[in-house]
Structures are given as C-alpha cells and as structure tokens.
Amino acid sequence: MTKVSIIGASGYTGGELLRILSRHPKVEIIIATSREYKGKPVHYAHPNLRGISKLKRLKYSETNIDKIASESDVVFLAVPHGVSLKYVPKLLEVGLKIIDLSADFRLKDPEEYKRWYGIEHPYPDLLKKSVYGLPELHREEIRNTTLIGNPGCNSTAGILSLIPLVKHKVIDLDHIAIDVKVGSSEAGAKPSKGSHHPERENVMRPYSAEGHRHVAEIEQELSIIAGRKLKVAFTPHAVSSIRGALASAHTWLIKEVDEISLLRIYTLTYAKEPFVRVVYGAPLKYPDPKYVIGSNFADIGFALDKRVGRVVSFAAIDNLVKGASGQAVQCFNIMMGFEETLGLDIPPLRPA
C-alpha cells in the first residue's frame, strides 16, 4: 500500500481528497492535518465522510513535517497559496513525491509568478523541476516526476476547451477570449463577503475581469501547444451554484471548416482520454456542469457560428474534482504507475 499524507485536509479540496482516496485500493491515508480540528475525527470537518470504513480511525493532527517525511510515500498539499513553499523543499529532500494543489509550483517562469502572485519565488529551480499536472498534456512528464503543480479549476476548464483548436491550428491565435462561470465552492470553505451565502446566492457576478491569476496557466500551456507565446483574454463569473465550472472560449476561424470537421478534431484530440467526453447532438448539444458533478469527467463541446466565422468551445467540470482533487488523484495514479482511473471511476450524480 502507498502511504499518503494530506496537509490541509479540512477544506473542500482536502475533503475531496479524503473522499476519493478512501475508496482507492492501493492507498493508506496515514496523516491528515488541520490546526482547527486537531485530535478530532475527519468527519468533524466533513460530515459526509462519517462511517467510511477507511477513515474511521483517522484523526486530524498538526503539521509535523518530520513525522510526515518519515512515514509517507506521497504527500498531497491542499493549502493556501504561499504555504507550500514552506514544506515542499524539505519533503523533496527526503525523497517523497508531492502533489501540490496550490498555485506555488504551477508556473515555470519565476517572472510570471512574481507578476501574478506579487512575490519573488524562493525556489526557481523547483519551478523548472515541477510538472504541470494536466494529464491530457503532460502524462509522460507526470510519470517521471516527483513534484506536480496541480492546475487551477478555471485554467483546467479553459485549457481543455481550447486544446483541439490550438493543436489543429484552425483559429486565430491572437484573438482568444475565455468566459468561465464557476460555483461558490471555488472560494473555499471559509466564507468571505463575496462567498457568504446571502451575498452569493442569485448572483451572476464578474470578478478579476481584467485578468484572473489562472490566465497565467492558460497562456503557459497553450503557448507550449502553439509553439509561440500566446495572450488570452479571460474573465470569470461567480454564479450561485455550489459546484461546477463552465468555460466558454470564443475564437475566430482562419480556415474553412464545417461542424463535422470540427467534431473530428475534438474526437481525435480526446479519443484516448479516460476522463474527457465529447458532447455533441442529442440529448444535450452542449456541455453542462450539472452532468459532471461529483466526478472527474470533463465534458467538452463546441458551437460553430458560421455567420461571423466564430467557434465557441466549451468545457464543463466539477471544480472540486477534475478542477482540483480528482485531477490530483489522476496525477497520483500516473506518477505511481497505477491504472489511471483507480479510485476515480465514479459516475456523476444525477439529479444534482
């Protein structure tokens, strides 16, 4: 059994890691940390996990890096941005494998990290070493690394929506605009003025309209595919759903293509991806986050607006699963040489 520790296991992404890994046949969760719930069973923070056999004896502890380092094989970090910087170097030094769900090791360029997060990255060498944890783009690198920077939910949806069009060079790469609608769980378990339920319910509110931090990841990954530097316009919107993210990427064609040709591009791109489903035709013409909730699936689709030569490309994900913890476990499986779908073969909930 692979011995796993989760640092920061009381938030939403930590809870999803516990939920998913509790049914993973090759994992033993040995440590779950939380200052607030120290000494208490994990279901104190996550009532949905009460009675789960693999978690019954697991209690929260403080973050003791020496204990984690001596007892673990793999460490998941589900902590706020900036916190992983304190832990990752020492954990790597003792030979552990790390999957970081924060943004601390997603970007390759230290200058980009400084630009978007406002601080000098103290370990630029580790930025070069880390692998961006999107299996659809970096499966082989994930297989051979010890440090994964797990993607953000908005960036996961944005990138997956655009890979087929950028890869097959059918759009104007200088004019890409992405709109993402995302549920309140993206803001985390601690309420703020914007995420507190009475303030959040019934909203359709743009935020970071001039450029959300996740755009840095989108530009980084799409530029690799394109073979040149791309800039992308990106605006997220807070909506009143709890889970789910829907990316709508607006692009303009530079080649004459019809719907069937576009469908072929999408299906060829994702034919071998276990968690990507191309949505086209009945019963749903376009992806909807409602039908991926609770799962690691990403539903991808498109609309061809012939009148103006525009393609709108869609990606629907559960922001806490494919957008966070499920994707982290998918990377874990690849990193450890396990079947990629292990512990993740969970159908979406319906109705949700």
User: Rounded to the nearest 5°, which phi and psi values hold at 60?
Assistant: -70, 145
Report the chain's terminal Cα–Cα distance, integer Å.
34
Q: Of 9, 78, 142, 153, which is the active-site residue?
A: 153
- 331 among known catalytic residues: no
**Number of helices followed by number of strands (H, E) in the chain:** 11, 14
Cα separation, 297 vs 180, in Å, equals 17
- Three-class HEC string of 306-352: CCCCEEEEEEEECCCHHHHHHHHHHHHHHHHCCCCCCCCCCCCCCCC
Q: Which of 104, 303, 308, 318 is closest to 213 using CA atoms? A: 104
Contacts of 336 (CB under 8 A, 6+ apart): 2, 26, 74, 97
Residues with a catalytic annotation lie at 153
